[in-house]
Amino acid sequence: MPEVSVRRRRSAYERVVRPVLYRLGRGDAEVAHEQTLAGLRLLGRVPGAPRAAARLYGAAKAATPRTVFGVRFPSPVGLAAGMDKNGIALRAWPALGFGFVEVGTVTAHPQPGNEKPRLFRLVEHEAVINRMGFNNLGSEALAGRLAAYGDLGYPLGISIGKSKVTPLEDAVEDYVTSLSRLYRYGDYFAVNVSSPNTPGLRTLQDAGHLRELLTALHAEAAALTVAGLDPKPILVKIAPDLTTSAIDELLQVCTGTGVAGIIATNTTIGRPGVEAHPLAQQAGGLSGRPLAETSAKVVAHIHNETGGALPIIGVGGIVDAADATRLFDAGASLVQVYSGLIYRGPGLVRTINRSLP
């Protein structure tokens, strides 16, 4: 992978804020993550602070709104799942220019996730390896928090996954439980069957398992709609490590069960371009700049295979506006960022929004 150009003018975040964050917890990336969320949570609670931040970083109104799978997005640039798993900073994200936020991944049972340390920065590659393991407070706790928020004023996606303690044969019930608890609060739901950090989870991408899961989730959604709730789009988040034939089989299941869109892609178990890095042997999923080419290829394949009929949220490898443009050009209707925030800061969202036609 090509190195980041030294000629690029670094932002104030990169020069001043990022070095401080990287020293927190003696360099433990998860400590920096937690402290950043705590700061954003405080920002969202201070009267006038979100408005001031919006003036500084450029609100989402800099972009043209888009309507995708029936949901109106004030900006097509969203925050990917994993950053704010438990939804503690939801008042702050729009001030940074995000047009939507995806919380989670959340599970039916609260769980601590994998043993620490479990989050690693590969700074020279603008990459991250994580094996967090769906650490979250559970879907019931998230439902309570979202009820307390009330109307957020922007679209909220909710990523749901399988609890580690739940046997694979009971996975459907686990997902359905979370969907039922959270259905009234989400504008769309992402079915995460592609994280590499929960044992056996990726087998749910197989056609038979996936069809059973999606059929049950749509049945539950239909029942909740009959009970008086608005219908909500259900999306599937896929891995970047699938073969094209496996992707095609998965797409057939998705279109056959009424899935509203695809999120492409999750982290990769491969180590493209970072094989020689001392941290490359750490277990977990790789994200950040090294994933850019792979995610764009997967998005393009899905777009071509479905004739553009199935909306795509492109995610993976976005660290500048050109990366986002590549995903839009490949066929994505929306994009999400996460690892790029770690390296480029909140100005990245403003830059992408201003680059859009």
Q: What pLDDT sits at residue 83?
A: 96
Residues 171, 214 contacting (CB under 8 angstroms): no
Long-range contacts made by residues 9-12, C-beta under 8 angstroms, separation at least 24?
11/344, 11/345, 11/347
Secondary structure E strands in 232-306: 234-238, 261-264, 285-288
Confidence of residue 330 (pLDDT cuts 50, 70, 90): very high
Give the model's pLDDT for residue 240.
94
Whether the predicted pLDDT of 2 surpasses 50: no
Q: What is residue 6's predicted lDDT score, i.e. its pLDDT?
A: 45
Pairing of β 261-264 and β 234-238: parallel
Domains of the chain: 39-355 (3.20.20.70)
Q: What is the pLDDT of residue 58?
A: 63
Taking only Cα atoms into account, the Rg of the chain, rounded to an integer number of angstroms, comes to: 19
Q: What is the pLDDT of residue 4?
A: 46
CA atoms within 13 A on the CB side of 13: 13
Share of the chain above pLDDT 90, in %: 82
Q: Between residues 60 and 12, which one has the greater pLDDT? A: 12
Q: Which pLDDT does position 207 carry in this prediction?
A: 87
pLDDT of residue 95 exceeding 50, the answer is yes
User: Residue 49: what pLDDT?
Assistant: 84
Q: Which amino acids are annotated catalytic?
A: 195
pLDDT at position 3 over 60: no
Compute the distance between CA of residue 31 and CA of residue 338 in angstroms, rounded to an integer: 16
DSSP 47-75: TTHHHHHHHHH--GGGS--EEETTEEESS
Confidence of residue 300 (pLDDT cuts 50, 70, 90): very high
128, 122 contact by CB (below 8 A): yes
pTM: 0.94
Rounded Cα distance, 268 and 332, in Å: 19
Contact 162, 91 (CB under 8 A): no
pLDDT at 200: 84
- Average pLDDT over every residue of 118-123: 97
pLDDT (tens digit, 9 = 90+) per residue, 157-197? 999 999 999 999 999 999 999 999 999 999 999 999 988 88
